[in-house]
Each structure stands twice: as C-alpha cells, then as structure tokens.
C-alpha cells in the first residue's frame, strides 16, 4: 500500500507540473522597488511569464534585511505559486546579523536557480572633497566620527563595517530599508557616502548624481574598469552578492525542474545576458542541488565576514 501511495503521489506531482502554472505566481522581493533585487526580479519575471504563459507578479516586501519576505515565503504553501527572488542577505548573512530569525535559510526553502553575482560601489556626492580612493581614506581618517554613511542590505552593511575595520576608520553607520533610500540621502547631503549595488551605481554615475570611488570585488570590475578595487588599498577586502530563485520547502521536484529549465533557457539568450549586465550582474547559473550546497556554504562564509567586520547581531 505504501508503494502504491508513493507512486500515486509522484504521478499527481508530475501531473501538477504539466499544468503548472495554471494561474498567476507571486514573486516576492525582499527589498524595495528600484533596488538591484527588484530589477533582477522584474527581468526574470518577464522571462518566466513569457515562457509559462502566466503572470509572475512582483511583490516588494522590504524590511528587517529581507527577513520579513523570507518568513512569508517559508510559511507559504509549497505549490509553486509563491516564490522568492532572494539574495545573500536573507539567505546567508541574516543568520549572523540577527540573534533570532523566524525562518531557517536552508531547511525552510527549496533552491531552484542561482542567476548571477554582483558587487558594490563606494559612492560619494559630486562635491565630496576626495577625488579617489586613497584621498577618501585619508579624508575620512581626518574627520573621525564626523561623517555618516548609510546601508540598506547585508552586503552594503558588511561593506561599510569591513571598510571601518580594515581601513581603521571612524564614521556613523545609518540603517535603511533598502539601498535606494540611502542613495537619496547621500545625494541630499545627510549622508557623506554609501555602498551602492552595481545596477544603481552605474545609473547614478552616468547621471552625475553620485561619484564612484571603488568597487568591493577582489579585482576591478569589467562594468567600471576605471575604478580600483578597495583591495588595492586595503588587502583582503572583498564583498560579492548574488541573486537566486527559491520556493518554500517541499516544493514538488517536477515544478522545481520546470522552473529551472525555463530559467536556464532564458539565461542562455545573449539579449538576457545583456539585460543582466545593464543591472550590474554577471550571469553565473547554478542548478537546484548546486544552489542548495552553495547556500549552506554561504551561510558559513557570511558568518566569517560578519565576524571580521566586527558586527554584533541585533
């Protein structure tokens, strides 16, 4: 009887996958509209919608470094109609940034596809006195405790904290629900600098609203080759962020495979790679099993980064 029940379950899952999706899918984004994660979600959602002939509706659920969105998806029915465009913040850094989380980034989710990786850019207003990274470090050291910097994700938070630690700097760190708000306040003058995801950084630099000084990748980025890596002045400095699609735990395997196959076909298109580059992201796909192992490794990696940055969990 158990074998019959097991086979019946497999058949019903396969049948569900063949008709999936039969109605709109919610794509939960843990950061505000305009963030890099939001831009990736809208790009991905359009590809999924075109291939699967159902709307993929982006819903922004910002707050608590993505923990609010992650908790909602973790509790959702595992039917493929609530998915999450996640990042290293809710799925790798938060276990070390918070004393208590209402979700487990490994046990409570089904990994589907990693899309790509990105880095951050250190940015200042056009009138900031320092014109390059070396001058910036000297300027901040000379104004100990007098300057303010904002962050709106774990990547930008750890970027600031590591800058403070490795550069032996003293400045005030201001938290935001997302990077776009930190950008606004840096442009307005209430913040003197911030770390911006490459998607927004390239747009701000092009518009002349903010000026880039350096990038957080270990080496210079092909997206902004004129800017140095912070590691050129502060050896050992490196922060890389990533984007991936996950669903609630126990998502049926046929649905996972269907979504992953559509994602892989989309990521193979030259025009989609170009769109990812425009939002500051290098396409670097991983499948469900690889992504699962990657997330586990990233939880440990970000725990080391948070310790190195000297951040105390909230």
Residue boundaries of the structural domains of the chain: 2-118+241-309, 120-232
User: Quick one: fold of 2-118+241-309?
Assistant: D-Maltodextrin-Binding Protein; domain 2 (3.40.190)
The answer to whether the beta carbons of residues 288 and 112 sit under 8 Å apart is yes
Q: Do 2-118+241-309 and 120-232 agree at the fold level? A: yes
Q: How far apart are CA 48 and CA 60, in angstroms?
A: 18
The answer to whether the beta carbons of residues 305 and 162 sit under 8 Å apart is yes
| Predicted confidence pLDDT, tens digits, the chain (314 residues) | 555 544 555 555 556 667 899 999 999 999 999 899 999 999 999 999 999 999 999 999 999 999 999 999 999 999 999 999 999 999 999 999 999 999 999 999 999 999 999 999 999 999 999 999 999 999 999 999 999 999 998 889 999 999 999 999 999 999 998 899 999 999 999 999 999 989 889 989 999 999 999 999 999 998 899 999 999 999 999 999 999 999 999 999 999 999 999 999 999 999 999 999 988 898 999 999 999 999 999 999 999 999 988 888 88
- Among residues 261, 306, 246, which one has the least CA distance to residue 93? 306
Q: Indicate the DSSP class of residue 155.
A: H
Q: Which residues have a Cβ under 8 Å from the Cβ of 156 and sit 6 or more positions away?
A: 120, 150, 179, 182, 194, 195, 196, 197
Q: Which residues have a Cβ under 8 Å from the Cβ of 76 and sit 6 or more positions away?
A: 82, 247, 248
Q: How far apart are CA 281 and CA 38, in angstroms?
A: 13
Of 1.10.940.10, 3.30.360.10, 3.90.550.10, 3.40.190.10, the CATH number of 120-232 is 3.40.190.10
Q: How far is CA 269 from the centre of its chain?
A: 22
**Alpha helices (H) along 178-252:** 179-188, 198-207
Query: In what helix (H) or strand (E) does residue 114 lie, and over which residues does it extend?
Result: strand 109-118
């Amino acid at each position: 009887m158990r074998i019959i029940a097991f086979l019946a379950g497999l058949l019903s899952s396969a049948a569900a996958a063949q008709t999936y999706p039969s109605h709109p899918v919610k794509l939960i984004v843990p950061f505000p509209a305009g963030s890099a994660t939001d831009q990736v979600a809208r790009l991905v959602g359009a590809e999924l919608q075109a291939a699967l002939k159902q709307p993929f509706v982006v819903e922004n659920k910002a707050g608590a470094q993505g923990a609010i969105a992650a908790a909602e998806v973790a509790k959702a029915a595992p039917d493929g109609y609530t998915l999450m465009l996640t990042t290293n913040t809710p799925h790798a850094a938060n276990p070390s940034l918070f004393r208590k989380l209402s979700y487990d980034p490994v046990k409570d989710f089904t990994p589907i596809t990693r899309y790509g990786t990105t880095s951050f850019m250190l940015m200042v207003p056009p009138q900031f006195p320092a014109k390059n990274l070396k001058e910036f470090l000297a300027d901040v050291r000379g104004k100990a405790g007098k300057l303010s910097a904002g962050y709106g994700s774990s990547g930008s938070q750890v970027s600031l904290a590591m800058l403070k630690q490795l550069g032996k700097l003293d400045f005030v760190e201001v938290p935001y629900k997302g990077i776009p708000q930190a950008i606004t306040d840096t442009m307005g003058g209430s913040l003197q600098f911030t770390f911006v995801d490459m998607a927004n950084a390239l747009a701000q630099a092009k518009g002349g609203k903010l000026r880039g000084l350096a990038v957080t990748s270990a080496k210079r980025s092909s997206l902004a080759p004129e800017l140095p890596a912070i590691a050129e002045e502060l050896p050992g400095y490196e922060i890389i962020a990533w984007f991936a699609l996950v669903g609630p735990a126990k998502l049926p395997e046929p649905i996972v495979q269907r979504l992953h196959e559509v994602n892989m076909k989309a990521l193979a298109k030259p025009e989609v790679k170009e769109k990812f580059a425009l939002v500051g992201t290098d396409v670097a796909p991983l499948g469900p099993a690889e992504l699962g192992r990657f997330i586990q490794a990233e939880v440990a990696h970000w725990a080391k980064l948070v310790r190195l940055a000297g951040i105390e969990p909230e």
